[in-house]
Amino acid sequence: MISPFATINDGIMKSPVLVIDMGGTNTRFARSRGGHLEAVHIVSNDQFRNIFDLFGEMMRVLAPWWPASCVLAVAAPVDSDYVILTNRAWSFSQRELRKKFRIGRMLVVNDFIAVAHSVGALKASELFGAGGVRSDPRRAVLVCGPGTGFGSALLLKGKNRVHAFASEAGHMRLGAITADEMHVIEQISRETGAVAVEHILSGPGLVRLHRILTGEQAGSEAIIGAAHERSKTARSTIDLFLQFFGRVAGDLALAFDARGGVFIAGGLGRSLGPFIPNSPFRKAFEDHPPYQNRLMAIPTKVIIHETPGLLGAARLTAELPPRG
């Protein structure tokens, strides 16, 4: 265990619980038994018309077992019974979902809440160091990163437990400093109006950035693959992407005094991890006068665990509400 949060007793349930990490593109689900994941599955959301069809598929795959309890981490704000996904045209009522699939106890949280709770369970081998000196265990931990959108959450250590708070930082306005950045922001603003963080820092954002810089239309996986094959144009796109990302991560680290460390998550964040050490990421992260020295000390680590959202959801089984 690598986190100051790892010593807290989170009362993980011993009986099996269905844990789900539902992003904009893919959904991951598994059984959790005593905090350990069993029968992990990953499916593309494009296969299903709505969340109810997806739950029907999970019921089929996991048969004959079906849970009495479920923790669902979803890429959306969770402010009421009715949940609307941010980057997919799906919505659902928690009460209706529980009733239709006979789930006695359900906890629905933002997906980065679950990822934040995974930090205390990650092994050193499930992290990739990407700069910085030391963390301060008394301070907040920031978890953020690009996927279908841009997610972020803050982890704070309380007296007897940890608390995670989601944010919608992906919808903050994004500005420019360098000439390259100004060109990109100007081009995107013609398409979208005001430019938000996830207009660039997301899978679709990487595609958009590459098109603006090169005139080429390529998917995010193709761009990353080309960069691994030493394509200079693909690598230039990724470097500019990581420059934007470093600055935004530094902004958030300052905003929340995240001297407990910054953990980079999201499917795209994990895929870009190998490029970070030789990219402008850390320079942009630290370049926030007059606080360069403060930011230089904060470690940035890439989460390379395949399903941190499920790992965190398993730890959240202690927070399941009473049957009702």
pLDDT, greater one: 161 or 288: 288
Residue linked to tokens 């799906």:
90
Q: CATH code for 123-303?
A: 3.40.367.20
What pLDDT is recorded for position 12?
Answer: 62
What pLDDT is recorded for position 289?
Answer: 95
Give the span between the Cα atoms of 237 and 223, in whole angstroms: 8
Number of helices and strands in the chain (H, E):
11, 13
Where exactly does CATH 3.40.367.20 map onto the chain? 123-303
**Residue-wise DSSP of 200-261:** TSSHHHHHHHHHHHHS----HHHHHHHHHTT-HHHHHHHHHHHHHHHHHHHHHHHHTT-TT-
Phi/psi for 104 (5° steps) reads: -70, -40
Residue 192 near residue 209 (C-beta atoms within 8 A): no
The gap between the terminal CA atoms of the chain, to the nearest Å, is: 35
- Mean pLDDT within 93-112: 95
Count of alpha carbons within 13 angstroms of residue 210, beta-carbon side: 23
Q: One-letter amino acid identity for 197?
A: V
Where exactly does CATH 3.30.420.40 map onto the chain? 4-116+308-319
- Mean pLDDT within 257-265: 95
What pLDDT is recorded for position 13?
Answer: 60
Q: One-letter amino acid identity for 134?
A: R
Which residues neighbour 245 within 8 Å (Cβ) at sequence distance 6 or greater?
146, 201, 281, 284
Dump pLDDT digits (tens) for 275-319: 999 999 999 999 999 999 999 999 999 999 999 999 999 999 988
- The CATH number for 4-116+308-319, chosen from 3.30.300.30, 3.90.1010.10, 3.40.250.10, 3.30.420.40, is 3.30.420.40
Lowest mean pLDDT among 39-48, 120-129, 286-295: 120-129
What pLDDT is recorded for position 293?
Answer: 93
C-alpha angle 51-309-77 in degrees, rounded to nearest 5: 55
Q: Give the pLDDT band (50/70/90) at residue 36.
A: confident
Three-state DSSP class for residue 54: helix
